[in-house]
């Protein structure tokens, strides 16, 4: 019984090693950030982790500046986004004015 289990495990390992790789092409990125002041700062910081579509899908809100301030703060504190303190207000202003 033990020998059968070992042979089955060995055979499974061999088939995993010899499996052919799967090749695929990702679709081209079509999302783009809307034009606006500080666009370059937003592109440099935000697009490192997600697309412009992610930002555009956020729900409508009354307090845009407060919402985006909380989102940028979350990206820094929770997800570790390496955003300079000097860029935070510029990013928030862009997002509040544009989205």
Query: How many C-beta neighbours within 10 Å does residue 96 have?
Result: 16
Asked whether residue 19 is domain-assigned, the answer is no
SS3 content of the chain, % helix, strand, coil (to 5): 60, 0, 40
CA 6/CA 65 separation, integer angstroms: 62
CATH code at position 35? 1.10.760.10
- Residue pLDDT, tens place only, 42-84: 999 999 899 899 998 988 889 999 999 999 999 999 999 999 9
Asked whether residue 18 is domain-assigned, the answer is no
Q: What is the pTM of this model?
A: 0.70
Structural domain count of the chain: 1
Residue 85 has pLDDT above 70, yes or no: yes
Task: Fill in the DSSP letter of residue 62.
Answer: S
Q: Which domain holds residue 66?
A: 26-98
Asked whether residue 68 is domain-assigned, the answer is yes
Dihedral angle over CA of 26, 29, 30, 32, nearest 10: 160
């Amino acid at each position: 019984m033990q020998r059968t289990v070992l042979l089955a495990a060995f055979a499974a390992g061999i088939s995993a090693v010899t499996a052919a790789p799967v090749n695929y092409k990702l679709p081209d990125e079509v999302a783009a950030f809307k034009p606006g002041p500080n666009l370059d700062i937003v592109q440099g910081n935000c697009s490192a982790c997600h697309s412009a579509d992610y930002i555009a899908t956020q729900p409508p809100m009354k307090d845009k500046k407060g919402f985006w301030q909380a989102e940028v703060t979350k990206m820094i504190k929770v997800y570790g986004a390496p955003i300079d303190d000097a860029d935070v207000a510029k990013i928030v202003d862009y997002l509040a004015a544009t989205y």
